[in-house]
Copies of this chain bind each other. A is one copy, B any other.
Amino acid sequence: MNSETIRARYGPWALVAGSSEGLGAAFAHAAAARGLHVALVARRSDALDRVAKEIRDEYGVETRQLVADLSEEAAPGQIAAAVADLEIGMFISNAASEPQGPFLDLPLAEHLFAIDVNCRAPLALAHHLGQPMVARKRGSIVIVTSLGGLCGLPVFSSYGATKAFGWNLGECLWDEMAPHGVDALSFVVGSTRTPNLERSGAPEAHLETAVAPQIVAANLFEVLDQGPTQYSLPEVEEAARGLFAMPRKEAVGFFSQQNHAAFPSRAD
C-alpha cells in the first residue's frame, strides 16, 4: 500500500507499543516514512525521546511520547486518554516481555509479568483504541506475534504461550472488525536481529540468520489489509506451514532442539 492509501484508509496517526528500540522502533520509522504521525509507547523515556527525535528529523511528522509500564493495570487506559485528542488510525502491538529459561527455574513473577505485558496490555489497548476506530469506520490493529506462538516453545514457555494468545486474538479481531471498516491482523515474525536477541546470549551463528527489523517493518505495510494472519517473510510463512503440518510432537521437538542449542541454560 502506498502512503496516500495508508493515510486515507486508516487515518493520520499510528501508535506503536514497545517502540524504544528494535522491531518497535522500526515499525515507528516505517509508519513515519509513510507520512503517519507516530505516538510512541515505551518504559524508558530517554530511548523514547531519541527515537522520536530521529523520526521527526527524518520524516517531518509529529510524534508524541508516552512513557508507560505496560505491566501496570492502569497503563492502557492512561495511554488511551493521553491520545484521545488524536485520531489513532493504526495500533501496532509490539511490546513484549520474553522470560528466558526453564519454566520452573524462572521466578513465577517473571511469567506473570509477561502475561501482563504480552496479553493484558495488548488486549486492553485494542479495546480502548478499537472503539473510536469502529466509530469512525476506519483503522488498523496489528498484533505482532511469533512463530513460537504456533506450538509449545521450550526455554521460552510463557513467552510462547502469550504469543499464541496474541495470534489467536488478532485473527478474531480481523473477523469481528472487518464489517466495521477496521483491518486487524496477526503479524507473525521470525527471528529478528534486535537488541533483545543480541542480549539473549544467542551464538553468532544464530544472530546471523536473524533478519533486520527494517525489512520486517516494511513488509508489514504491504499486508495490513490481508489478515487474519500475515507473515513477515516468505520463509516465515513456509516455516509456519511446515510446523502446522507436523505432528505436534515434532513441532514442539523442533523448537526444543533449536532453543536448547541456541539458548543454553545452566542446567543444559
Contacts and interface: CB of A to CB of B under 8 A. Distances in A.
Interface of A: 102-104, 108, 111-112, 115, 119-120, 123-124, 126-128, 130-131, 134, 149, 151-154, 156-158, 160-177, 186, 227-229, 244-245, 248-249, 252-253, 256
Nearest to A240: B248
A167 B241 CA distance: 18
A252 B175 contact: yes
A168 B176 CA distance: 24
Contacts of A256: 175
A151 B171 contact: yes
Contacts of A119: 115, 119, 161, 165
B161 A166 contact: yes
A169 B149 contact: no
A102 B245 contact: no
Copies per assembly: 2
Nearest to A173: B103
Contacts of A173: 103, 152, 157
Contact of A123 (B115, B164, B186): B115
Contact of A115 (B120, B130, B175, B227): B120
A21 B158 CA distance: 29
A163 B119 CA distance: 12
A252 B111 CA distance: 29
Given A103-B176, A152-B175, A229-B248, A167 B170 contact: no
Contacts of A115: 115, 119-120, 123
Contacts of A112: 120, 123-124
Contacts of A130: 103-104
Interface centre among A111, A170, A186 (most CB of B within 10 A): A111
